[in-house]
C-alpha cells in the first residue's frame, strides 16, 4: 500500500505575493468574498463559468497562483461534484474559509420598495429569502449567479428590478442595499477550499487540520477499524464522505477531514491506518478555517 501526497511540504500563504486566484462566478460573488477573506482585498480574481474551469486555471502556473472552490454548505450539504474534481486534480489544499452567506436586496440608486416589480437572483438565493419575499407580490426571476443579477440591474438602469446578492456585489456595481440580511435562516455558512500547486507553497506553522482520501479492502469491519484508529489517536473526524469507486461493484472510497493538535500526531495515525487501507491520498495539511 502506498500513500500519495499532493505536496512535498506542508503549505502556507506568502504575504509577499500578488495573488491571482480562479473562482467560480462573476465579480461580487461569494467566491470572491471568500478569496478576499483568505488572501486580502488586493487579491485578483479570474472569474470562471464552471468549477472545472476553476481547477484547470488553478493548475496552470502561467494563469494563476491557485483557485478556490465551495465544497459544502451548512444548509444544502456537500457539493459532491467538487469533491470529484478535487480527487482528479493535482492541487493541494492550503487552507479553508467558512463564510457566512448574507443575502441583501439591492437596487439602483433612488429606487424605493414600492417601485420594485421583479427580483432577480440565483435560485438558491431566492429560496433562502422566501420569508422576506413572500411579503411582496414581486415576480421572481432565476439567474445563474447572484453577482450577475446585480450586474444586470446596474447595466439596465431599471427602477423596477432588484437583485439579491452580496454586500460586495452592491459595492462593485454601485447599488443601494434597500433591505439588508433578508435571508430566512441566519446561520448559513459555506465552506471554501483554497487550492494551490504544491511546488509553489512553503511550510505552514500550527497546521491543525488535514483532508485525506482512503479506501479499504471492503472486508467486514474494515472501515470501522480505520475510524477506530483515528479516534484512538485523539484525532477528531470532522467530515466523512463516501464515493463509489468507478468500475467497481458498489465499492467506495472515503474523503475524511481530520483535526489534530500537531502534524506529528496526524502522521502517526496515517502510519497506523496504512496496514488496513489499500490506498491513502493526502490532499493537504492546513489551518482550521473556523479558528480564523
Q: DSSP string spanning 110-178? A: T--GGG--EEEE-HHHHHHTHHHHTTS-PEEEE-S-HHHHHHHHHHHT-SSEEEEE-HHHHHHTT-EEE
- Report DSSP letters for 7-63, one per residue: -SS-----TTS--EEEEES-TTSHHHHHHHHHH-TT-EEEEESSHHHHHHHHH-TTT
Q: Which fold has domain 104-179?
A: D-Maltodextrin-Binding Protein; domain 2 (3.40.190)
Which whole-number Å values give the CA distances from 163 to 40, 81, 146, in the listed order?
Answer: 26, 27, 8
Using the predicted structure, report yes or no on whether residue 14 has a pLDDT greater than 60: no
Q: How many angstroms separate the CA atoms of 210 and 229, rounded?
A: 16
Higher confidence at residue 258 or residue 186?
258
Using the predicted structure, report yes or no on whether residue 212 has a pLDDT greater than 70: yes
Using the predicted structure, report yes or no on whether residue 214 has a pLDDT greater than 70: yes
CATH 3.30.360.10 fits 209-291, yes or no: no
Q: How many angstroms separate the CA atoms of 155 and 152, rounded?
A: 5
Q: Parse the chain into domains and list their residue ranges.
A: 7-100+188-200, 104-179, 209-291
Q: Which residues pair with 212 in a beta bridge?
A: 256, 282
Q: Tell me the pLDDT band of 7, cut-offs 50, 70 and 90.
A: very low
CATH 3.30.460.40 fits 7-100+188-200, yes or no: no
38 contacts: CB under 8 Å, gap ≥ 6: 13, 68, 95, 97, 192, 194
Cβ neighbour number for residue 184 with a 10 Å cutoff: 14
Using the predicted structure, report yes or no on whether residue 140 has a pLDDT greater than 50: yes
Using the predicted structure, report yes or no on whether residue 292 has a pLDDT greater than 70: no
Fold matches, 104-179 and 209-291? no
- Position 250 scores a pLDDT of 80
- Position 34 scores a pLDDT of 97
Q: Tell me the pLDDT band of 203, cut-offs 50, 70 and 90.
A: confident
- Position 251 scores a pLDDT of 84
| pLDDT, tens only, 77-118 | 999 999 999 999 999 999 999 999 999 999 999 999 999 999
Cβ neighbour number for residue 190 with a 10 Å cutoff: 21
Q: Tell me the pLDDT band of 17, cut-offs 50, 70 and 90.
A: low
Contacts 24+ apart (CB under 8 A), 153-160: 153/106, 153/107, 153/108, 153/120, 154/108, 157/108, 158/108, 159/107, 159/108, 159/110, 159/111, 159/115, 160/115, 160/116, 160/117, 160/118
Half-sphere exposure of 215 (CA within 13 A, CB side): 13
User: Cell numbers 439591492 correspond to what residue?
Assistant: 106
User: Cell numbers 502522521 correspond to what residue?
Assistant: 267
Amino acid at each position: 500500500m502506498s500513500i500519495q501526497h499532493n505536496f512535498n511540504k506542508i503549505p502556507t500563504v506568502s504575504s509577499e505575493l500578488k495573488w491571482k486566484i480562479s473562482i467560480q462566478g462573476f465579480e461580487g460573488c461569494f467566491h470572491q468574498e471568500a478569496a478576499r477573506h483568505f488572501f486580502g482585498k488586493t487579491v485578483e480574481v479570474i472569474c470562471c463559468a464552471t468549477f472545472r474551469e476553476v481547477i484547470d486555471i488553478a493548475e496552470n502556473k502561467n494563469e494563476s497562483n491557485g483557485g478556490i472552490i465551495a465544497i459544502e454548505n451548512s444548509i444544502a450539504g456537500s457539493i459532491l461534484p467538487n469533491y470529484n474534481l478535487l480527487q482528479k486534480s493535482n492541487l493541494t489544499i492550503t487552507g479553508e474559509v467558512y463564510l457566512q452567506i448574507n443575502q441583501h436586496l439591492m437596487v439602483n440608486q433612488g429606487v424605493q420598495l414600492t417601485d420594485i416589480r421583479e427580483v432577480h437572483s440565483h435560485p438558491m438565493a431566492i429560496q433562502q429569502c422566501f420569508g422576506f419575499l413572500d411579503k411582496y407580490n414581486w415576480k421572481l426571476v432565476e439567474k445563474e449567479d447572484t453577482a450577475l443579477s446585480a450586474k444586470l440591474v446596474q447595466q439596465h438602469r431599471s427602477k423596477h428590478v432588484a437583485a439579491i446578492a452580496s454586500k460586495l456585489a452592491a459595492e462593485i456595481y454601485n447599488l443601494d442595499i434597500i433591505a439588508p440580511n433578508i435571508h430566512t435562516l441566519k446561520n448559513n455558512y459555506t465552506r471554501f477550499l483554497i487550492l494551490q500547486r504544491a511546488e509553489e507553497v512553503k511550510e505552514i506553522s500550527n497546521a491543525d487540520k488535514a483532508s485525506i482520501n482512503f479506501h479499504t479492502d471492503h472486508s467486514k469491519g474494515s472501515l470501522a477499524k480505520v475510524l477506530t484508529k483515528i479516534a484512538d489517536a485523539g484525532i477528531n473526524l470532522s467530515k466523512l464522505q463516501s464515493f463509489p469507486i468507478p468500475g467497481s461493484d458498489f465499492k467506495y472510497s472515503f474523503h475524511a477531514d481530520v483535526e489534530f493538535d500537531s502534524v506529528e500526531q496526524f502522521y502517526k495515525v496515517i502510519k497506523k491506518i496504512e496496514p488496513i487501507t489499500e490506498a491513502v491520498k493526502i490532499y493537504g495539511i492546513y489551518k482550521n478555517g473556523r479558528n480564523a
